[in-house]
Structure 1
Amino acid sequence: MTTSNDKSATERIVEEEKAKLDFSTSMSYGDYLHLDQVLSAQHPLSPAHDEMLFIVQHQTSELWMKLMVHELRAAIGCIREDRLPDAFKMLARVSRIMEQLVGAWSVLATMTPPEYTAMRPYLASSSGFQSAQYRCIEFMLGNKNAAMLKPHAHRPDLLEMVEAAWRAPSLYDEALRLIARNGIEVPAGYLQRDWTQPYVASDGVEAAWLTVYRDPKAHWDLYQLGEKLTDIEDAFRLWRFRHVTTVERVIGFKRGTGGTGGVSYLRKMLDVVLFPEIWKLRTDL
């Protein structure tokens, strides 16, 4: 037999549960993430079903790259300030982000050549080659090239962001300065130079890294940093490789929409080595 008191208690519990589900006066999950704006940012221009895949693939990649820029910028600052534990956590996160980006290419690879051909005319000259965030990542990792500023000249705000990364010391530049601060000789020309110029490998820099790698216990933090940089370049190579493979699978050797040679251009990028002495020392140890 249910009493009126039991009913009142039950009704009170029901009302309390309903109140927990009412987000009309508090911030909801969608509010916090601004999902209305994020999920309404996909605007296919063609009638092709597969264009939604193409848009979502690139938008999510840009979101991951936004986080990568955030982490790289902070990691460079931490290395400059000798805050290596913080830098190591950030650099490890960058490597994991790249793994996400590598995996994403397998989704885009489900787009077949006829499916891409159906939407390609609607892309005009837009291309991932024009990604300002990707260019910042390349510059922060040390692949400096003044010609890569030009694709952003039409947007002063983007040009300012990319140019700042181009003019600043890269992650590797700051790593070499850190080695010198720890009493290991690094050629003076690598501690103060024109940071906008492409990095050129040096026997003297390799000798500095060899000092670290021949006695890891004595130089543990620097050794750890070298391995974090190796992790990043390893992941970055995989990202580039999956990119070129996916592009070749979908469009073959057609020119890219942004005016590049497409696969031929991407294959050249596979030969870029970001941290050359860290790879060479493995042979010379």
Structure 2
Amino acid sequence: MNNCPVTVLDLAPDDPLVQPFDGATPYDDYVRASVLNHMQQPLTDAPDEMGFLVTTQVAELWFTLIAHEWRAARRALAADDLDTAADALVRARRALTALCGSWEPIAALTPAQFNGFREAFGKASGFQSAMYRHLQCLLGEKSAAVLRAHRGDPAVHRALAQAFGEPSLYDEVLRFLHRQGQPVPRHVYERDVTAPYQSDPGVVRVWQRIYAGPQHHPLLKLAELLTDSAELVGRWRAEHVRVVRRAMGDKPGSAGSSGLAWLQQRAALPVFPELWEARGAV
């Protein structure tokens, strides 16, 4: 029997994989791993702070990808390209699923563990996330008031102001349905897109009509992809409530928010409400 140790990877000195590069590796040039891996700067010696930082930063990256895919879906719908929009919504669904799972590293923090570093982030709060505001704009959850928090950063404020003034993903869905001959009320598809979206009985009836029709119709597929996104956003918000409840109970949140109470209120709001209301009458 050969008792020689087996190496997992035995590369010859002239193998291209181990040749030196002039400067950073092509991998690092593309992925920017060295940048990403130096962005975690804990402010305390608490062993759980690193996990909190990484979890929060990873969530921001998922926000960026989800916003990218929802914008792609919106552009495609504006061009009446349902297939391309559906592809983007499928990709967004995958990213949202990963976002929901990203809570796991900090899901079991005890109050004592969280208190070990909580004071270090001072007035910082997830409520201040600009990319999350972009997601809210794409969902039709518009609020001019929240733009004020970003006035000190002109580039961020300018991008958010642009997102605030654009149609949401759902606005573009309803305009698309109108062009497809669905009886979307005119006051809905011509509405002021800077106002928060409110459920409309006429839109509920449109979705009821789609759900009562052929079960393999492309518009039903669109409805279900939107429902996937709505459900996963709700799941992510519910997970946020769960993590906060476990780590800090009902104490006030950072930056002056009410903490758990505010998160519970947000989690209770349905995304794309007519899609849920329509189900009860089909």
Q: Distance in 1 between matches of 2:140 and 2:223?
A: 15
The CA distance in 1 between the partners of 2:128 and 2:262, in whole Å, is: 14
Q: Give the equivalent residue in structure 2 for 1:240.
A: 237
SS of residue matched to 1:258 = helix
Moved more, 46-55 or 133-142: 46-55
Instruction: Structure 1: give runs of 5+ residues left out of the alignment.
Output: 1-12
Q: Residue 14 of structure 1: CA displacement? A: 4.5
Equivalent residue, structure 2, for 1:214 = 212
Q: Which amino acid aligns with 2:235?
A: L
Q: Measure, in 1, the Cα distance between the counterparts of 2:45 and 2:25.
A: 37
Contact conserved, 1:72 with 1:140, CA < 8 A, in 2? yes
CA radius of gyration, larger in: 1
One-letter identity of the residue aligned with 2:221: Q
Give 1:197's match in structure 2, choosing from 187, 195, 198. 195
Displacement of 1:151: 2.1
Asked whether the 8 Å contact 2:237–2:267 carries over to 1, the reply is yes
1:127 and 2:125 aligned: yes
> How far is the alpha carbon of 1:15 from its aligned partner?
5.5
After superposition, the Cα gap between the structure-2 partners of 1:27 and 1:268, relative to the gap in structure 1 and judged at 3 Å, is same
Tell me what 1:10 maps to. Answer: none
Q: 1:115 to 1:221 in 2, by over 3 A?
A: same
How far is 1:170 from its partner? 0.8
- % of aligned pairs identical? 36
Local SS of the residue matching 1:200? coil
C-alpha RMSD of matched pairs (Å): 1.7
1:267 aligns to what? 264
Shift of 1:142: 1.1
Are 1:58 and 2:56 an aligned pair?
yes
Aligned AA for 1:224? K
Paired letter, 2:91: R
Bigger drift between 67-76 and 153-162 goes to 153-162
User: Which sections of structure 2, spanning at least 5 residues, go unmatched?
Assistant: 1-10
Alpha-carbon distance in structure 2 between the residues aligned to 1:174 and 1:29: 38
**2:246 aligned with 1:249:** yes
**Alpha-carbon shift at residue 111 of structure 1 (Å):** 2.2
Q: Deviations over 1:23-53 (max 9, x none)?
A: 4148432232111111011111112121111
Contact 1:233 1:274 in 2 (8 A): yes
Aligned to 1:142: 140
Task: Give the counterpart letter for 1:279 in structure 2.
Answer: W
Q: What are the Cα deviations for residues 48-84 of structure 1, in whole angstroms up to 9, with x where unaligned?
A: 1211111101111111111111111111111111111
SS at match of 2:207: helix
Letter in 1 for 2:242: T
**Once structures 1 and 2 are overlaid, which stretch shifts more, 21-30 or 264-273?**
21-30
> Do residues 41 (structure 1) and 39 (structure 2) align?
yes
Instruction: Rate the CA distance shift 1:196–1:29 in 2: closer, same or farther, 3 A.
Output: same
Runs ≥4 in structure 1, deviation > 6 angstroms? Answer: none
Superposition map of 1:154-165 within 5 A: 154-165=152-163
Deviations 1:115-165 (A, max 9, x none): 111211111100111000011101101111222212222211111122222
The secondary structure found in structure 2 opposite 1:82 is: coil
C-alpha distance in structure 1 between counterparts of 2:14 and 2:102, whole Å: 43
Q: Distance in 1 between matches of 2:269 and 2:159?
A: 23
Contact in 1 for aligned 2:114/2:247 (Cα 8 Å): yes
